[in-house]
Chains A and B, each alone.
Chain A
Amino acid sequence: MDGTLGLLGGGGGGGGGGSSGASTNESTVSKVDVVEQDFVGMSSEASSYPAEAELELGLGLSLGGGVKAKPCTWGERGRILTAKDFPSVVSHGSSVPSRFTDRATAASVGPVSGTKRAADSVSQEGGSPTGVSQVVGWPPIRAYRMNSLVNQAKSQRAEEDKMIGEKDKSRDASKKKIYTKTDPAAKEKCHLGFVKVNMDGVPIGRKVDLNAHSCYETLAQMLEDMFFRSTTAVSSIGSGGEKEQSTKASGYKLLDGSSEFVLTYEDKEGDWMLVGDVPWGMFLTSVKRLRIMRTSEANGLGPRFQERNDRQRCNPI
């Protein structure tokens, strides 16, 4: 398998037929395979495609370098792309500007194959599992509708679970798009996991996409970037307050109780819990929204609060 980094590594052929020319759909289909093989160690789609497809970089139209796969019978329909297939456009604070320029450059090449682009132009940060982020805003469905689809699916599954009588947590966890190496059944449909985040003292909340993270550390880092670097702007609308000292620390500040604020979340039952107390997967299934609370107010969350100082926060469990 021709493999380079991340999305452009080798993989099965595309699900589309056809010859040369604009065949990005195949490319992205094969990218899906690649992603799964590289990051999960298994691909349920692998069997559908010929094993020795050779990849050339083809149409670069804004998909991080089109990847052209050997044609195969059109009988196999290209699957609907998961959002994983597209290089991240913007997720708050988690993507790198240079990626867009490279992508845009590729896009102007036109439908000519053979433009080999360095795979690292599309590689996600650190090649981490969370690197396969969604293309924000595609398909173009209003966020409200998207969230409601997700919630409907969640509650339907919850009901099925109840009926079956199983409290199979690992199954629950696997139903979310959790891209961790330890999760064997990670081929799950991807959906938007935007939850609201409010911070004490800040009138306007933000939203984060939980699916773009695989552990507490990156989540906390992002939230710190979001709130602590632009706090003054958010809370004093338009007065253009000075930037605070960038607290670009380890991502632990919100999680280890050392700062003035702690990160908490509301779970399905309506209880407020400290973030980090449960395995990441379990957290994902139960979190409804987040709140960055003043440490002074978090005391009610008692014993856990003392214990957590001893615990390692960054393991994706």
Chain B
Amino acid sequence: MNYFPDEVLEHVFDFVTSHRDRNAVSLVCKLWYRVERFSRERVFIGNCYAISPERVIMRFPGLKSLTLKGKPHFADFNLVPHDWGGYVQPWIEAFAKSRIGLEELRLKRMLVSDESLELLSRSFANFKSLVLVSCEGFTTDGLAAIAANCRFLRELDLQENEIDDPSGHWLSCFPESCTSLISLNFACLKGEINLAALERLVARSPNLKSLKLNRAVPLEMLQKILMRAPQLVDLGTGSFVHDPDSETYNKLKATVLNCKSIRNLSGFLEVAPRCLPAIYPICLNLTTLNLSYAAGIHGSDLVKLIRRCVKLQCLWILDCIGDKGLEVVASTCKELQELRVFPSDPFGVGHAAVTENGLVAISSGCPKLHSLLYFCQQMTNAALETVAKNCPNFIRFRLAILDPTKPDPVTMQPLDEGFGAIVRSCKRLRRLSMAGLLTDQVFLYIGMYAEQLEMLSIAFAGDSDKGMLYVLNGCKKLRKLEIRDSPFGNAALLTDVGKYETMRSLWMSSCEVTLGGCKTLAKKMPRLNVEIINEHDQMDIGPEDGVRVDKMYLYRTLDGQRKDAPEFVWTL
């Protein structure tokens, strides 16, 4: 290895792109570590509190792209207080002070302020790409700063963020000289948009490939935009409502015929089903279809649409499609790899829902399926066993039953055997979420068979500490474990404390773990932050070690206790 000059090594490392592989490369020897760190351009940090920005800067001076994740996953479901943490500001400040030429920033579940966005926009001359997923704390003023100051912006992608939009003028802040846009997604904005500014922006962006509009963009504007950007690959419609007998609609139909590159379609946040035929020509070539926000399309309109999408690889849909609709998917979409079925009526009476039959149909029609998120009314062991047989290639398998502890309705048994079949058959399974009535037995199966499992979500499951222990002992590659409302306590938590340093994080809420148990753990493992999230001031009443902890989140870190924890978060 010593014979190669560094440049050769670096050139070889250029072909190593996944961050995990690069991490592995850097561990080989000091020379490789050195070459790797200077040549690394993309850094992924799964927990923003695992390391300080300064250390990242020191190690990777050539960094161009940073991905950061903040709050724990259960924050998506309102289990984590909004001001728990995950601020991006310290990162941007640190990077701004350094000589890092940041070009791309991707954030998930972080708190982002307008000040942060403004600082970002002013600090990096070559900044090109901003992707925000499930973030909050900012308004369209922050977006205006990005638009105005990032001269070479290529990508602004906002996915499912809660954004205050007091004014729609941010779009007008893109200067006339900005012609570099490749991707623009503002579907999650709730407010009005300056439509003229949008049209002009599209007109001067010849490289625009991905455009996702919000609800405020009407069909007439969609038609004009598609006229200007027939090269689009990725389209999210805004409002898709019009009189199908009008001239505008006919123009749209003609324009769509010219858009031969569209492969990914989404949106339809408002939709008049009679207008759907306009997009039929696109369906033939679609590989991704996301109708999970299109509550206005159901029944036969939905089926007609799906029947045309023979090349579909990824489908996100609402459960109003029903089992029958899923059978249509199964017979039409033979290339399907990813399916997500969301509930259209999470708390209502269950007529719009799918059952195990829909899933079985999909599994027999779509053998390439490897990623699943399925919200259903009920599930049976028999169905899961069939699915496991039909689709042994699952990488992600997430099931949610609207009644979280529902047993197999046919046999009244827990769903242990069904999930056992899944983990036995799907040897490449990396992510699993379970639902339904589950005992310790399912965890035994998981510990025994789920060798590649990296992320496991448990809710309302198990009988005793043994369940959690099976998982901790058996799943060698486990990185993230999140548990809620399950009877696991100190014995499970403390049996193998070293395990947690091999994992990114552990979340336990409404379990049996006590304050004393957490303290013991924190004492034994100084390189873990053990945080108790305490919203009910249990601790104020004189914390006793025997008190059960409501929410505990622990994670490995090189940075010690974080300094921005709010009052209700207690790091032990």
Query: Which A residues contact B (CB, under 8 angstroms)?
Result: 16-19, 21-25, 28, 59, 61-63, 74, 77-83, 85, 89-90, 92-93, 95-97, 100-101, 103-104, 107-108, 110-111, 134, 136-149, 152-153, 156, 177, 189-191, 194, 196, 203-207, 230, 232-234, 237-238, 240-241, 243
In the bound assembly, the distance between CA atoms of A18 and B81 in angstroms comes to: 40
Which residue of chain B is the closest to A140 with respect to CB atoms? B77
Q: Is the CB of B348 within 8 A of A189?
A: yes
In the bound assembly, the distance between CA atoms of A16 and B412 in angstroms comes to: 9
Known pairs A25-B407, A80-B350 / 19 extra A-B pairs, C-beta < 8 Å: A17-B412, A18-B412, A23-B407, A62-B485, A63-B405, A80-B353, A80-B403, A107-B486, A108-B463, A108-B464, A111-B414, A111-B463, A138-B459, A140-B77, A148-B293, A149-B346, A152-B293, A206-B83, A238-B565
Q: A residues within 8 A CB of B421?
A: none
Q: B residues within 8 A CB of A18?
A: 409, 412
B567 on interface, CB distance cutoff 8 Å = yes
Query: Which B residues contact A (CB, under 8 angstroms)?
Result: 74, 76-79, 81-83, 87, 111, 113, 134, 137, 160-162, 164, 188, 269, 292-293, 295-296, 342-350, 353, 375, 377, 400, 402-407, 409, 412-414, 433, 437, 439, 457, 459-460, 463-464, 484-487, 509-512, 535-536, 538, 547-548, 550-551, 562-568
> Smallest CB–CB gap between A8 and chain B, Å?
16
Which residue of chain B is the closest to A62 with respect to CB atoms? B485
Q: Which of B82, B346, B551 contacts A207 (CB 8 A)?
A: B82
Q: B residues within 8 A CB of A96?
A: 536
Q: Which of B347, B463, B564, B566 contacts A230 (CB 8 A)?
A: B566
Indicate whether A191 sits within 8 Å of B346 (C-beta atoms), given known contacts A144-B188, A230-B568.
yes
Indicate whether A137 sits within 8 Å of B406 (C-beta atoms), given known contacts A145-B160, A189-B345.
no
How many A-B contacts are there with CB distance less than 8 Å?
Answer: 215
Q: B residues within 8 A CB of A24?
A: 403, 405-407, 437
> Smallest CB–CB gap between A107 and chain B, Å?
4
In the bound assembly, the distance between CA atoms of A138 and B547 in angstroms comes to: 25
Which residue of chain A is the closest to B511 with respect to CB atoms? A104
Q: Is the CB of B487 within 8 A of A74?
A: no
Indicate whether A25 sits within 8 Å of B409 (C-beta atoms), given known contacts A89-B485, A108-B487.
yes
Q: A residues within 8 A CB of B111?
A: 204
Interface of A is mostly: loop
Q: Which of A63, A104, A140, A189 contacts B512 (CB 8 A)?
A: A104
> Smallest CB–CB gap between B145 and chain A, Å?
17
Q: Which of A28, A83, A243 contacts B347 (CB 8 A)?
A: A83
Q: Is the CB of B407 within 8 A of A90?
A: no
> Smallest CB–CB gap between B191 and chain A, Å?
10
Indicate whether A25 sits within 8 Å of B346 (C-beta atoms), given known contacts A108-B463, A143-B76.
no
Q: Is the CB of A142 within 8 A of B567?
A: no
Q: Is the CB of B536 within 8 A of A80?
A: no
> Smallest CB–CB gap between B196 and chain A, Å?
22
Q: Is the CB of B343 within 8 A of A139?
A: yes
Which residue of chain B is the closest to A189 with respect to CB atoms? B348
In the bound assembly, the distance between CA atoms of A245 and B189 in angstroms comes to: 39
